[in-house]
């Protein structure tokens, strides 16, 4: 998810839409087209994710709020940076990224509460539907996994 990348095979440059920006996270939450409950939950997620990652929120693209980052490189040579963990307050759900990647996370997800699992994210109707202590555990695990800090303890 890098801003501009050069293909090793063609020399062409690619621009990814989802990259870190300087957009104001608070303004985004205040103006996003969603419910008051979703905005309140988004503000709570800001606090949770900042506490559990030790990182400040950054807008990634126009709609994702990320915490920390990691660098990726595919076998094709394409590489870039992406948010380690993050979320997007959308109309239908809170979409939370980076929590399903750590090995062995399935048993933790079983304790989370009501959510739907996507390929690389989870969908939560509202934070009241999930166990916030389990969510914190998942954020810590996802962040450590994506940033290569598996041996590091929170605290």
Structure tokens at 154: 């929170």
Residues 119-125 have a mean pLDDT of 94
**Residues of the chain above pLDDT 70, percent:** 85
Q: Is the pLDDT of residue 14 over 80?
A: no
Q: How many CA atoms are closer than 13 Å to the CA of 117, on its beta-carbon side?
A: 12
Note whether 78 and 93 are within 8 A (CB).
no
Q: Is the pLDDT of residue 119 over 50?
A: yes
Q: pLDDT value at position 17?
A: 63
Query: Measured between alpha carbons, how far is residue 72 from residues 79, 113, 147 in Å?
Result: 5, 31, 10
Q: Give Cα 68 distance to the centre of its chain.
A: 9
Q: Is the pLDDT of residue 152 over 70?
A: no
**Residues sharing a CB contact under 8 Å with residue 99, sequence separation 6 or more, in sequence order:** 85, 105, 109, 121, 122, 138, 139, 141, 142
């Amino acid at each position: 998810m890098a801003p501009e990348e050069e293909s090793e095979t063609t020399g062409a440059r690619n621009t990814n839409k989802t990259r870190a920006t300087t957009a104001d996270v608070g303004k985004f939450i205040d103006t996003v087209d969603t419910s008051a409950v979703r905005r309140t939950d988004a503000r709570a997620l800001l606090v949770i994710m900042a506490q559990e990652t030790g990182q400040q929120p950054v807008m990634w693209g126009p709609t994702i709020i990320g915490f920390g980052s990691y660098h990726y490189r595919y076998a094709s040579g394409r590489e870039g940076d992406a948010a380690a963990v993050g979320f997007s307050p959308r109309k239908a759900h809170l979409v939370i990224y980076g929590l399903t990647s750590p090995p062995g996370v399935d048993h933790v997800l079983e304790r989370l509460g009501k959510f739907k699992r996507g390929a690389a994210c989870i969908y939560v109707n509202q934070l009241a539907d999930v166990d916030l202590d389990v969510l914190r555990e998942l954020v810590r695990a996802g962040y450590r996994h994506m940033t290569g800090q598996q041996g590091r303890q929170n605290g």
